[in-house]
Structure 1
Amino acid sequence: MGSALKCALEAGGIAVTAEVMPPRGGDPSHSLAMAACLKGRVHAINVTDGSRAVMRMSSLALCRLLLDAGLEPVFQMACRDRNRIALQADLLGAHALGIRNLLCLTGDPVRAGDQQEARPVNEFESIKLLNQVSAFNRGQDPVAGALPDGATELFPGCAADPQCPSWTGLQRRLTRKQEAGARFIQTQMVMDPDALERFQRELAGPMQMPVLAGVFLLKSAKNAMFINRVVPGASIPDHLVRRLAESRDPAAEGIAIAAEQVKRYLGLVQGVHLMAVKAEDRIPRILDLASLSLQPA
């Protein structure tokens, strides 16, 4: 089973992904309905894995349900909650289920979530996880010898923050991720196009790593201030908060801001990744305003 996302990125064309959050419960119907709105508009749908250290349905389970619905998933894997044996099992299980795209993450700290008594594992972090994916793709067993049924065909990506205050640290870690086998970069939300341009010019471009720039839908000034307060690494500038506060229709203004970012970022990098928490059905409107229409490969 191939990957439309991989084909788009390797062909050098525009690539578009969007994010869907699993439910906080056992019924996936709402998440699937939100994902259905994106059919034909994106190459793949990224399913979060315990984002902000909050309990949600398994990313692996929802990814398989997306495949059943004819939608290509990106399986997020966070290292926070599982040891290497569990991560290895989920990688092989994802491959068996037909899931090919991966986003390898360390994971938000437990202190960011609502169950702070939980015990993090953190035996692996994103680079070690990428190394494990690469080993499976070479057909290597983690203990000795070769996998008995041959190599996997997983397509792994990594995360990066172009607005990271430590540029040398960002460069060093991104280099290690590429060396570990990352094939594409999905950024955190980007609110500063100059930072994204520098990231592409000085890091991703010379490394020949395709970038999906994170575009986050803001719903109101209050929502923007909340995101700044609770989301690790978020930095929504004051001028956007004011723009939302002064708008007669903050929801529509947020869509307009996101569409402007899509158009601007596609002039800098190869693709975009759209995040619209609990409002995924607004993503097609963002793409329409950005005059972006494509058919997945």
Structure 2
Amino acid sequence: MPSDVRVIAFPGAPNLPVFAALERGYFAEEGVDVALTTTPSSVFQMEKFNEGAFDIAFTAFDNIVAYREGMGAVPLSNASDFRVIMGATQVELSAITAPDIKQAADLRGKTLALDAVGTGFAFVLYAMLEQLGLGAKDYTPVAVGATPERWKSVQEGAHAGTITIEPFTSIAAKAGFNVLRKSTDAFPAYQGGIVATRQSWAVENAEAVRAFIRGYLKGLAWTLTPENRAAAAVLLQAKMPEIKPGVVDAVLASVLSPRSGLTPQAAIRPEGMQRVLDLRSQWGGSGRRLSGFDKYTDLSFYEAARSGT
């Protein structure tokens, strides 16, 4: 009988390997029945993950760090149980602005839509704007929610800008919105997306965790195979109909690049993880210098899944 695994992820093109593993039966081959839910915000995701409503979270590495360190947007009772079990994406984050905001200076006195004002992706935006000459007092960050909600708020004129991932970056650019800066231009490496679980659940369900990882890696391998690009485009558009034919090539180019998207073999990037810690140390407001990403990880399930043990 298949093991049930409940997954919560942010909406976005980086979910393509999960879509592939579901559609092509890779999870089923490994004996896991995976149910995928997308989250409206990082707070919702982390609260439900903490409560045990979900077993696996595709989330930002910084979310795990923040809640483990007691710096999260809300207090969580079981955050010490959170562990990163494999990588997911380098992730390209883009500073998107309304058509009339042509340069960073135009953002002075304006509001920016964010998931939450103290998350890792927010720190990336703050750092990019600092590189473009803006200080923290030049704009006002506002908590709005996940990328679809943020993008909608900028479209409707409620906020002057936001930070996006694919496909929303390409959709925005196609619609005449401005891309002021991308994280891939700002930092040589940034471990944006990871896969996490709760250690207590993983220990009790070790084979299900390993089976999930094996299924995901099959989906990732299929996604990254060049011969499957056309089929991947069809699958992505079927799962995310907001991706129109005119932008799907740009979306895939970003997501399939190891510099801006999916990480080959779902490996973690040590330099990218350290970048996350550095940004939280700089912008997190605690005055603490964070180092040593190993304490947030347990790669034993990943290593066992890859070795076949």
Q: What TM-score, normalized by structure 2, do the two folds share?
A: 0.26
Name the structure with the higher helix share.
2
Which structure has more relative contact order (CA 8 Å, sep 6+)? It is 2
- Given the two structures, how large is their TM-score scaled by the length of structure 1? 0.27
